[in-house]
Structure 1
Amino acid sequence: MGAAGLRALLDSVRYEVLPAKPTEDKVLAHVPRDVVVTVTASPVRGLEPTLDLTGRLAGHGYRVVPHVPARLLRDDAHLKEVVDRLRAAGVDDVFVPAGDADPPAGAYAGALPVLRRLTELGRPFTRVGVTGYPESHPLIHDDVTVQAMWDKREHATYIVSNLCFDPRVLGRWIVCIRRRDVSLPVHVGVAGPVQRAKLLAMATRIGVGESTRFLARHPSWFLRFATPGGYSPERLLTPAVAELTSPAAKVAGLHLFTFNQIAETERWRRALLDRLGA
């Protein structure tokens, strides 16, 4: 059952990518069309690179989920403009975090007002994702993050969990939110098979703020990539597979943070699926 459960998780993946220049070619070269691609948004560069890459990838036949951080939206008119542009590109799924822009670009300081406004606009997207925090947020108390998911449940359709490296913490968090009647399905956030040297090289090229913002806020996470033998997602997934595949957990699949090491992530997934199949 462990192998079957892990195969099911690997068959239901989302790849999070950064809207950098090479990203489109990397996705086309390495990502199958049945894998969902999510596109991040930078508080420095704004929404335009995200919207542009989303439209191009959708034109290639991918199911694309753009990040639309509340703090990057100027006002209601800007939100409506973004909605119209995404709908014209065939997008029916968006991820709405609060975002890191400080100060915010406009009136939206958090995700909930944006979610409410989307509901008022007639729910233009079939699927809407919000953030969950298995490991404590550096600025927000755990009870507040769980309450936030509860408040958003009427406007969202799923949760994407932030990075977690401890299977026990992840399992406890899922049990906790279910006990608090947060019933939205969860896409479990897992770092892909990133190597520290490559992550550092990429950060040097495109800026830490584009690629490792949350790792910089959590230095203990960054150290995980320097463990003997390197980091491997199996170290999280294998011990947690029973909890993640329990019907009560309502885990919809994996959300893989690729850090734009897209070829390496897909190669790892295919190799593990082959081993599990054997």
Structure 2
Amino acid sequence: MTLMSFLRRSGTEGRGDLAALLSGYSLEVMPRTASRIADLREMIPAGTRIYIAHVEGTPIDDMVACARRVRAEGFTPMPHIPARHIDTRATLDAWLTRYAGEAGVSEALVIAGGSKRPQGVFDSSMALLETGLFDRHGFTRLHVAGHPEGNRDIDLHGGNALVDDAIRWKQDFAERTDAAMALVTQFVFDAAPVIAWEQRLRASGVHLPIHVGVAGPAKLQTLLKFAVMCGIGPSLSVLQKRAKDITRLVRPFEPTDVLEAIARYKAATPDTLIAGAHLFPLGGIEQATEYANRQIGVDPRTGPGRAVNA
């Protein structure tokens, strides 16, 4: 089946595939947004992997406290470790010591970070991984960023060639480390770039699992703001087309179309690298989790826990 066939099919035939893709979804929070929710267990299924975004300026005390709370409430914390926000190797060592010792953290999302200029000796996720400190502190799972629509910072200095080189390096590193590794993408609004990117990676010999990032339900204006801020590429046109329809501006944008297309592709492609979905709750944690739970038929207040995707 061609790529366009996956994108054109619609209706109830994709609902089962959508539930399968979202089952085991992961979620991203910030310490300050999570702190506004009295009990995460009321809205998030037990065992969910929760990424904790480390926005520049957030104290490490707040990050560790959030990870400890996430663990205590029965979830799997995966804090961001942003290279350009870390001044020295000693600081990285101290962070990992605290995460492991105080919050029982054994997973991390290792990224370059949003700063254009490094605060210290690290300028990339690869520089962090090369320290060997994650293995030393017992981290058993490391996720790294994937960019199906390119990377704004890298594009200025070499485009897709450098992006692909970085992924090949991470693939090679995955074969050297004891930790399991996977790619997680920035949020997208169109399936086509994701599928084309996955096919290109797989053809080049990459076999890291891919967790596709999507934005949870949010106002269109909110999504457009974040899309421009984060340098979202070709799939931004999906939002721009919707913005021309004034009647749709008042309704939250849901990621169903992009998820159904990716889910159908995943179901029909046994050797695909796509492992699951990662939710960015740009419209709020409650809205994002309510949407995902509705698709998979789970009520966290009564339903059982479930395994997270690899």
> Smaller-chain TM-score range?
0.7 to 0.9
Going from structure 1 to structure 2, the CA distance change for 1:24 and 1:60 (only over 3 Å counts) comes to farther
Q: Secondary structure at the match of 1:139?
A: helix
1:5 & 1:53 partners in 2: Cα distance?
33
1:55 & 1:214 partners in 2: Cα distance?
33
- Counterpart for residue 149 of structure 1: 167
Q: 24-33 or 109-118: which moved more?
A: 24-33
Q: Secondary structure at the match of 1:87?
A: helix
Equivalent residues of 1:46, 1:72 under 8 A apart? no
In the alignment, which of 252, 255, 273 is matched to residue 278 of structure 2? 255
* Cα deviation code 1:64-111 (max 9, x no counterpart): 110011111121111111111111111111000100124222100111
2:75 & 2:197 partners in 1: Cα distance?
31
Equivalent residues of 1:47, 1:68 under 8 A apart? no
Deviation at 1:47, TM superposition (A): 4.1
Residues 1:237 and 2:247 aligned together: no
Deviation at 1:15, TM superposition (A): 0.5
Equivalent residues of 2:31, 2:52 under 8 A apart? yes
2:297 & 2:88 partners in 1: Cα distance?
48
Residues 1:110 and 2:127 aligned together: no
Q: Which amino acid is 1:224 matched to?
A: L
1:63 & 1:192 partners in 2: Cα distance?
20
Deviation at 1:45, TM superposition (A): 3.0
* Cα deviation code 1:174-222 (max 9, x no counterpart): 001111211111111111112236x48xxxxxxx8xxx48635449739
**When the two structures are aligned, how many residues end up with a matched partner?**
265
- Counterpart for residue 265 of structure 1: 288
Give 5+ residue unaligned stretches, structure 2.
1-12, 175-180, 299-310
Equivalent residues of 1:129, 1:160 under 8 A apart? yes
- Counterpart for residue 220 of structure 2: 196
Deviation at 1:3, TM superposition (A): 3.2
**Given the two structures, how large is their TM-score scaled by the length of structure 2?**
0.76
Going from structure 1 to structure 2, the CA distance change for 1:94 and 1:24 (only over 3 Å counts) comes to farther
Equivalent residues of 1:33, 1:63 under 8 A apart? no
Q: Secondary structure at the match of 2:152?
A: coil
- Counterpart for residue 179 of structure 1: 203
Give 5+ residue unaligned stretches, structure 1.
201-207
2:118 & 2:230 partners in 1: Cα distance?
21
Kindly report structure 1 stretches of 4+ aligned residues shifted beyond 4 Å. Answer: none
Q: Which amino acid is 1:146 matched to?
A: D
Root mean square deviation of aligned Cα: 2.8
1:1-278 aligned at under 5 Å gives the runs 2-20=14-32, 22-23=34-35, 25=37, 27-45=40-58, 47-88=60-101, 89-118=103-132, 121-122=135-136, 124-140=138-154, 141-156=159-174, 157-196=181-220, 199=222, 212=226, 215=229, 217-218=231-232, 221=236, 224=239, 227=243, 228=245, 229=248, 230-245=252-267, 246-259=269-282, 261-274=284-297
**Given the two structures, how large is their TM-score scaled by the length of structure 1?**
0.84
Equivalent residues of 2:219, 2:283 under 8 A apart? no
Going from structure 1 to structure 2, the CA distance change for 1:161 and 1:22 (only over 3 Å counts) comes to closer
Q: Secondary structure at the match of 1:68?
A: strand
Equivalent residues of 1:118, 1:124 under 8 A apart? no
Q: Secondary structure at the match of 1:193?
A: coil
